[in-house]
Structure 1
Amino acid sequence: MVSTLPSPNPERRLAALARILKLLRETEDLDRLVSSLLDNLKEELHYSLLWFGLYERVQHQVVSQGFLAPKPHRSLKSTFALAPGDLMEQVVIQQRPLIINDLRIEPRIAAWNEMAQQLAIQGALIFPVRHRDICYGLLIMGSEHWGQGITNSDRTFISTICSALADVLHKREQTLQTEQRKDPGVALASLIDQLQTSDDRDTQLIKIAQSIAGFVRPDRVRVFWLEPDKFEFWERLILRTKQARAPKCYTIDAPGLVMPVSEIRGVYQLLSKQQPLVVGEAQSANTAALPDRFLQLLKAEALIVVPILEQGSLLGFISVESDLAQVWSDDSRSYCKTVANLAGLMMPTVSAAEVQRQSEQEMQLLTGVVRSIQSESDWHQTLEMCGENLCQTLDAQQFLVLMHDAEHDGYQVMFQKRTLPRKRVSSAWPALDEVDWQMLEDSPTAIAINDLANDLKLLAWRENFEALDLQSVLACNVTPGNVPEGIILVASPHPRQWSTAAGHLLQQVAQQISLILRQWQLQQQTNQQEDLYSSIQWGLRTLQQTFHLEQLEESACQYLSDVLDAPLVALVNWQVGDHHAKVGRVISRHVDFGADQDSVIPLSSDAIINWAQQTDGPLPVTWEDFPPDTRAWITGPPNSKFLLVALKTADKHVPNGVWIVADRGDRRWSNHQLTLVSVLARQLAWSRRHLDIVDLLLERQESLEALNWYKHQRLNEAHRQLKVNLSRLSDPITQGKGLTAQRQLQLVRQLNTLTNGIENVVTQETWELRKHQQTTPLISLLNRLMDRVNPLIQSQHLWAKVHNESNVIIAGDLEKIEFVLYELMVAACQRSPEHGRLDIWCRPLERTHMELAITDDGDIPRQLLKDLKHGRPDDILVPSLLDIPPGLHFSICNTLIKQVGGEFSLQKLEDGRIMSRVVLTVAHKGK
């Protein structure tokens, strides 16, 4: 809000500020100081009303200290109590200036409305007088104008003066406190001297109560003691400071006021955390945690509650009470806390005789545990004895031993000692939260839960505790400092406070029991290893001695069903490259489980097959996880559990089967069972793959042998008939005369040469290829090649050209080389577009080799080029483009060229052309 007042002269304003600050420094009387200050402000700021009041923190009120007004008014001398929502309280708490548009009608400062109406005051400003975070008073300035604003200059001027005034009030308060303050050190030293003169607890508590009453001066001081078994606070002592009567003491059999912990859980929580409780009119940081029942029982408007602790265990508390609302001083709160700590140190819960008796009992218990561990071979009987003695010593009703189950990320109940009511809960307990896990790992002693309804520790086991009707638990890690693999629980059906001694005793017993648990773990691991070893040996022996796929799959499914005792084992299989699968084998021992062997299962969409292939190892699922399409071919009851594992051999091999194991909803697959399934599945996969490959190769061998035999017989017959006809043509009777006879003789010689070549194949290459080392000029080789492929070039209307500038001699098996070059030329012509271009490039490579490259404008699949470069897939069962023409022909050409000492490659050039490249051997000169 912008002020309508003119801006003051800076030099005059500075002089006024210096004058007022000097006044604040030199004036000692507070009344004269306030009067002179208001006069100077009136002269400088021209406000109709100037009022200053001191803030009293204890009573939470503002007391008038001085004012200047148009006319006197009795309310200007009043004391203003601050209430929630009041603008004056708002300024005190927030410690920021506040502008009031119309003081006459503002409801949030109603105490000033009538006075403002009579004094004709409308707009007003409220400034806090504060030192750091402490408010010492309020300065109110009123004007006859509505919504009176303030300039930046005036704001700075007033703030500076208020700050200087606050410094003066702060120093004044410190001086008064120094004069009135009691020395807590002296009072505490006096109390210690008094406590040393008596060993009686009640007498000591009386001296403590009297010391607090003398230092704090409350209306009452009471001491409450905690009864651990009944889990309630009972009044042990009360001292009324305004009465001449002596303090009154009570006993546990005839207590004063009794407060069950269940009714004041918030108080118990804070006291157990060693936090004092302070309640006053404007000082109630912990009031929200206090139940109304607690305040009703104590009947106090203000109080200080401090815990009495012994080694972190809550013994009771001291209640310092006042019938009137007030704010407790820091010294009072600190003294009460110190005295309560002193009480916990000087008054142990048990006497020396009781300590000795407890030590003897604990020693007997530990000795019995150690003797039992050494003599008893039955660990169950040893734990029975430990549980019985612990429950009797600690007055507990439940004793449980839990072992961490890493396979299922939880805990298993290894042993349970019960008393009435006899209840059983699930042997499988859930995993602990990270906070509880770390707490048990780090804690050197047992963890106490006095009231499960009021404690969040071990929250993951809350349902298990409720099923056992337990309300308080003492839990400990058998190996402190290590991960909690073994946990011992001692519990009671009602809330109680576990003593520190009980925690130490349980921890000592737990360390002895850890030996039993370790032996049990080792024995379990040994049994599992033996079971796994024998199972693997049986499985490997059976799989290795089976040579028929159907028998192999039947034996494996039957064995897996026997080992796991599962009602269903099924094998879904397919051939690599298929789009559908079928159930090949089913072992079902119950009518609720089954698999339809007639169903056609789509590989691309079925859940079981896809889940299994995407998982490395066995995958546990439930019946509810399956979509309707999957449930159409496999059946199981609700909540039943399934184990899926793909039959994989290697990462680069494609799976061709899924093993399915099913059981009821309560089945839990152990780690060694999962390992067994993985090993057997892997061995079955390799055995199935081996038999599949053998069958595939045998099938191919039989087919190729039959084809080779048939073509060889046809070639042999053609060779025989050709020789018969050539002998007839060579007979002089059949020969012609003149030019005709010469041509006939030339044709006969050519056919004889061809016949001799065929005879070499028929007689020497029946079942395997042989090398025939020959030489020929490159030009002759190219001429024969072009003559042979020329009809195909003409039919495609191709433009063909040979690029050759040398005439080297080619060495090698020329028949096979010519066949390879012819096959490459035919393939180039067939893939070339009509009127395309075909080039043959000849280029020497060093002295011993030359390159013959055929380029064309055709196209070829990228996958075929990739397979030619890298060879067939690692998985021989996966279909490849090298198994069918033209890939098959290219693969054969590559094999033949390598056998004769050459190289072959097929690649796509950057300009899009296809190049068939062959490297041939050049004959040495003189050969």
Structure 2
Amino acid sequence: MGQQLPPTEENRLVALARVLQILREEDNASVLIETTLDYLSAEFDYRLIWIGLYDRLEHRLVGKGGKAPNGETSFLKKNFLLTPGDLLEQVVIQQRPVSVSDLREETRAGEWRRAALQFEVEGALLFPLRCKDRCFGLVLLGSHLWGVSPAPGERAELSLLFGSLATALYQIELEWQRSATKRPDQTFFQLFDELQQKLTLSKRLETIVNLTQQFIIPTRTNIYWYSPQRRYFWHRVTNQQMIRGVSDLRNSAPGITVAEAEDFYQMLVADRLVAIGSGRSPLRAESTGQLLSRLHARSLLAAPIIVQDELAGFLAVEDQEARIWEGAEKNYVRAVAQIAALVAGNEDLETRFEQSRSNTNLVAQVAEVLASNTDAKNALSTVGQLVCKRFEVPGFLVLNADRDDTYTLLYQYPSLNQRSLTIPIPILEDEEWQQMKPDGGLIAIENLEESEHFSNWSKALSQLGARSLLLHPIQNGDAKGMLLITHNAPRTWNSTERLLATVVAGQIGWLLKLVKLKNNTIALSSQQQTLQTGLTQLWEANSDRVWLEYLANLLTAPFALLLSWQKVSKPQGKITASVGALPSVDNLTIAVEGDPLLQAALASSNFYDCSLAGLNPISKKWLNYPQQAKAYLFPVRTYFHETAMGMFVFAFPDGSQFPTHLGEIATILMRQFAWYRRNQQQTATFLKGRRDNQTLNWYKHRCLEFLHQAVANWLALSETEPQGNKIEIGGQSLQQTRQQQKLRELEDIEATLTSVIAEEDWQLKGSLGVVSVPSLLKRSLRLVETSYQKRNLLTRIHNAGGLTVYSDRFKLECVLFELLLVAQSRAPEGSEIEFWCRTLPAHIEVLLVETWEVQPTNKSAAKLPWEIPADSFTPTNINLKVCQRIIQALGSKLRFHKLQDGRYLTRLILPTPRK
């Protein structure tokens, strides 16, 4: 135990107060440590005193000196790396004092163990320098006595001293962080003041560049401006400190073409900051090298200048050294680039106003030309001239879709250097449109040589001499046209040009539709309209009755019904929808093969008509309409030789006539309905088969896992069981007993798999029986025992004693195994998984609760799992869906819930054995 020197208690308190005052007022770490060491040496009789500060980046303790018996201080100023399990690391991580009875015998002390032997130190105290849950270092006090333990007063005095030292170190670190952080706010105030004093855009951009150079202090700062027609960034402004002559400006600030750094350009267009430095770059390695070589820099920070949603240029901070850009620097450059965008945007208001007026005039002129000109080609010729003049392009083409899956040239604006199109262009399919433009709108290609699309158009575009283009679909009724605006050099299409192209395409589409409508006959138009409406009603109808009601209205039939049946050997029909007054026949079953009216209608290839006056008694049971009526029947089938799935019946009383002119359209619509129903049935069958196969595949996979795990456990037991110490139990060794137990488990699984192979080759079959709940849960937990132990997950079973259920034991084990694996994936390491059981009327409820933390044994005050409010949800995990289907097939229920604190609860309800 450390022993105090003779001064009185009052003198010690005075000395402590003086030291604490120094610790509060001093801001030099060396002085703080020296003061602390002087106080410990003067007031305490410890043989060894050492203070080390914690280096978080290197995870080590940096020695700051101390007191040694022989006056040797070189060891006390060494650096000590912290390793897992180290005594010093324990103090740093746990931030709690540690007392060591004999430092010479402590195996975790590392170099300090040898130092204790050298300095003849036995007992030792290790105190962390802790402030706000952060460790700044530790203090080691060594005594020549064994098992040193300070008195309560001494411990309090040391805690006060070391706490004050840690607080002082914390304040020093905070002050250092404040001084090291860049403060852009003052620079922004200065920037705004100077911008107000500058009258031209060039002067304002120079101010932005100069202040950015002062704040970040790179090698140079530049602003590059973008030329869309040339796809080129030209140097506009540089910091004045770097301009020493024309030759220097050319060397330090060259222009950049888009082709040299395509991905750099794309990031700027997407309004993203580009930070390159110290081996880090968001660009491809080739682009990064070309860009830095072009700029004669090793680090780059570039922020786009976006004006009116268009890329106007970028602000570049360049450094000739590999540099890691700080967050404050990135934010500053980003903000300054936005200020440059505001400055540039306000500079050319008059120019933009004139351009906007020109765009408005163009749209108005195009609309006037298309509305006043009855000849489509003359109208397109005038529109082509206007568009080419405004866009400053040589090519304007209008294409129309042909029946042979190609585009035909409807119009091409001629010019001196524009060649005529003679090569057919294949139609772009919807999938290709979706790949290039998901919304089906305008496509702008700046450089066709760099584009991945239009490979099948290459010959035609090459004939036109096009290297960049604007492409917009033209809706021309059912046909698809295309507006093509081309340029013979790579260029950027700005948002205004894209908008104008979209408007012009819409106006041209309107013109083409008008021409097409004039060429169509009124009768054909009426039939197409009816057919289109009918198909729309078919796809939008949410029930058979809605669709039947539409057909009845189309045919003006006051009475209609729909019979439906399955494709089986002896189909039984039922009325699934009806329109008009009809006697109640909801539950009536109709034998299709025994009904003469239905058989006659099925033998007809078109509508089958008959008078209801002489209807046979069998058909009158379900077709009980007034006798003064005529019925028309049409089978639900896609073609004549297909087995029908039902029958449409339309009845017309005396005075009403069947509209024969709509018979062909009605036939098409009803056959489309047959295709629709057939597709629904096939889809339902496919989905059911898919679910069944998923379930069977999952189940057999789990069987193989069980067999694999059982064999692995048996082999592991055989290999790891010691051969020397044999414990006899009932005449057998412990090894033999365990091996027999594992063999019985293997035999059990083999017997189960035998029945699976023999009886469940293509579909699951339930093998129901009485199952012990405790045994079931224990077997399931044994399957995940190894994986749970790796993550330190604890398991508990509550209230399961003596409970039994009536179900398929092996399938329940598979389901519980899956639920335990899912719970393991969600549970944090070291948490707890619990099973809770309770008895319900004719059922047993088993709850799987993810506790996420180890709960105390005594839970009398805690709520039971079924008392905690929880929200049920449908799992997205396919394995859990399979488990639900298997449990449902066994006559049980499996539900999933989420508690308010984020934990999960799984509820399994199983039937009890019948008495």
Larger radius of gyration: 1
TM-score range, shorter chain: 0.3 to 0.5
